[in-house]
Amino acid sequence: MKIQQNISLKPYNTFGIAVNAQRYIDIASLNELKELLSTEKDFFILSGGSNLLLTKDIEKLVVHLNTKGIEVLHSDENDAFIKVQAGENWHVFVLWCIDHNYGGVENLSLIPGNVGTTPIQNIGAYGVEVKDTIHEVEGLKIENNTSKIFTNKDCEFDYRDSIFKNEQKDNYIITSVTFKLTKNHHKLNSSYGAIQSELEKNNIKNTTIKDISDAVITIRQSKLPDPKEIGNSGSFFKNSVISKEQFEKLQEKHLNMPFYEVKGNKPHPDPDSYRDRDVNRKSKILYKVPAGWLVEQCGFKGKRFGDAGVHKNQALVLVNYGNATGKEIWELAQKIQKAVLKKFGIALEAEVNII
């Protein structure tokens, strides 16, 4: 455990932005983290670096969380409770689950980043959100260096949102996540159109969690750029959820506008995640409009401005072709936000954390 000076963070963020950390430390265990916390209180936690846009050098001590470990705490006939250290790579963990026949995370294959950050923004793809599999989250409170368990309910999960982005923002370092996964009778989620077509294409009949994972990997590889080849942070913006009134006005002008009806009091684009909860709360119909479509309609899809650009297959993904600065990417994002606001009256919200 040694503090290093002037380290380039380019290898540590999936956008591949070359900013420096004045001071940097690699943390390999919970004990090391606790030791550090006993002397340092003001730092910047860097995990998988997959949901970040770094626009400047980091003056605070950069703490790179590199804790490893996957442990089956207990299991019964149907479920297994698996505790995973925050620094484990998410996709490596997903593949481990597939190998051991633990079901629940297969739709979330190939999402970049580390396990510890998955609850913060409640990662989601192809009809599943990580909240569906999280049993509890363990966090270390920065203020007093003590651990606390957050149950699934305590986490207040929502679309790309949780208590760790709101009330408890910057108060805790997530040190591990315990998942509740199925051992048999897997609840396969192949309802997403692209998964179905992929399974049909390969003539798959008795679908397994591995088939779903393979299908998701193929779909993601065809649509989304690999951060190892082109820097990116996945979806840069959240999908937009608008009121019925706004939707109806827009639809008059844009007949081909894709949309999904969602219910709730708060914007949320994934109808599947809302279904259960709506029963118990007053909700109204809202309309999800894919942000990728809005960005494409404004003419940005595939456009390049220096080394900053918009991906050619998915307009929701901003990319760094090599040497873009964080500022350049952010300028492009703001240009897109302005254009979408002007054309559709919709304010796109960044999903990525801008630092």
Q: Report, as residue numbers or ranges, the catalytic residues.
A: 160, 235, 351
Q: Edge-to-edge strand order for the sheet containing 146-151?
A: 70-75, 79-85, 172-182, 134-141, 146-151
Phi-psi region of 59 (alpha: psi -120 to 50; beta: other; left: phi over 0): alpha
User: Whole-number minimum distance, CB 239 to ligand EPU, in Å?
Assistant: 5
| Site membership for ligand EPU, residue 235 (CB under 6 A) | yes
Q: What is the distance, to the nearest Å, from the Cα of residue 166 to the centroid of all Cα atoms in its chain?
A: 16
The window from 130-138, 147-155, 285-293, 321-329 that contacts ligand EPU (CB under 6 A) reads 285-293
By CB under 6 A, is residue 292 in contact with ligand EPU?
yes
- Least Å distance, CB 238 to ligand EPU, is 5
Q: How far apart are CA 127 and CA 273, in angstroms?
A: 8
Q: Which of residues 204-223 bind ligand EPU (CB under 6 A)?
A: 223
With contacts defined by CB under 6 A, name the span among 202-210, 244-252, 313-321, 329-337 that binds ligand EPU.
313-321
Which of residues 67 and 117 has its CB atom nearest to ligand EPU in the complex?
Answer: 117
Instruction: Count residues binding ligand EPU (CB under 6 A).
Output: 19
CA separation for the pair 194, 126 (Å, rounded): 8
Residue 131's alpha-carbon distances to 48, 85, 123, 265, in angstroms, are 19, 17, 8, 19
β partners of residue 79: 182
Tokens of 315: 């307009």
Q: Verify binding: residue 91, ligand EPU, rule CB under 6 A.
A: no
Stretch 92-151 residues interacting with ligand EPU (CB under 6 A): 125-126
* Binding footprint of ligand EPU on the chain (CB under 6 A): 125-126, 223-224, 234-235, 238-239, 258, 269, 290, 292-293, 296, 301, 314-316, 351
